[in-house]
Structure 1
Amino acid sequence: MKVISIFFLLLHFGIIAADNAEGAYVSFKNYGRDVALFTSETANIYTSNIGQEFYLNHKIIIQVEKGYKDKFTHLTGVFQTQLLSELSNSDIVLISPKKGQFLTVYKRLENISSVEAVQPDYAIVKKHHRTSKARKGVNIHFKPPNRLQNSQCEVSISPTRIAIIDDGFDFSSTALSPFNVLLEYDADRQEVMIADTTRVAGHGTMVASVIASQLNSKPISKMSHVAEVVAIQQASTLNSAMILAFSVAQKMNADIVNSSWTLPFVSQLLASVIDDGLLHGDVSFVIVSAGNHAQDACISNKLSVIEGVTTIGALSKDGSIAPFSNYGNCVDYYAPSTALLQKQNKRIAVSGTSSAAAMATGEFSYLLSCGLSNNDIEIKNNKLK
Structure 2
Amino acid sequence: MSVVAVSQLKLGDKLAGDVLTPLGSTLFHKGKVIQGREIEILKAFMVQQVSISDDRNRTMPPNQDGSDEIQEQNAGLIKAPAAPIPFDDEYERLVELLKKTFKSAAAGEIPVLELRQQLEKVLRHIGSYNPLTFAPRSFKQPEYMYHSSAACALTSYLIAQWVGLPQKDWMQIAMAGLFHDIGNSRIDPDILFKPSGLTPDEQEKMRRHTTVGYQLLKNVAALNEGVKLAALQHHEREDGTGYPLNLTSEGIHTYAKIIAIADIFHAMAMNKPYRQGQSPYLVLEQIKSDAFGKLDPAYVTVFVDRVTQFHNGTLVRLSDGRTGEIVFSDRVYPTRPWVSINGTIVNLTVERQLYIKEVIK
TM-score range for the pair, normalised by the shorter chain length: under 0.3
Q: Which has the higher helix share?
A: 2
Which of 1 and 2 has greater Rg? Answer: 2
When normalised by structure 2's length, the TM-score is 0.25
Q: Which structure has the higher relative contact order (CA within 8 Å, separation 6+)? A: 1
